[in-house]
Amino acid sequence: MEAMQSIDETIQLWETMIERGETGITDKHSICMELFGDYIAGCPLCQYVSRIRPISCSKCPYRVVYGPCGKGPYHKWRHEETTEAAQAFLAQIYHVKEKYIAK
């Protein structure tokens, strides 16, 4: 898996969650399993990082652009699990993709 694939899969995951109105953490894990298989933390970005040696979250495409996922829209979504918070995080992932395309 390459960085761009992990970004595209993350977009697909979050779009699916929002389309279905299933935006909870349990939903995220089950939809990720349905779409891609058993990924670490139900996250294509985490799955990508897990394949890099040595494992380092500093290589996560999201973190490269925005810093740790424990802050900002992802953090807000994690605590609220709302569609609005999910949409805000997805908007950031679209921006991450734009940054990687521009490289």
Task: Give the per-residue pLDDT at 70.
Answer: 83
* DSSP of 3-62: HHHHHHHHHHHHHHHHHHT--SHHHHHHHHHHHH-S-GGG-HHHHHHHTSSS--GGG-HH
- Please say if the pLDDT value at position 93 is more than 90: yes
- Domains of the chain by residue range: 3-102
Choose between 15 and 52: higher pLDDT: 15
Is residue 58 pLDDT above 80, yes or no?
A: yes
Q: How confident is the model at residue 66 (pLDDT cuts 50, 70, 90)?
A: very high
- Determine the Cα–Cα distance for residues 62 and 36; give it in Å rounded to an integer: 19
pLDDT at 20 over 80: yes
User: In the numeric block, which tokens belong to residue 66?
Assistant: 């925005």
User: Which of 30, 96, 31 is closest to 60 using CA atoms?
Assistant: 96
Separation of alpha carbons 103 and 101, rounded Å: 5
d(CA 28, CA 30): 6
Coil, helix or strand at residue 103: coil
pLDDT for the residue numbered 102: 87
Reading the block at residue 101, the tokens are 């395309």
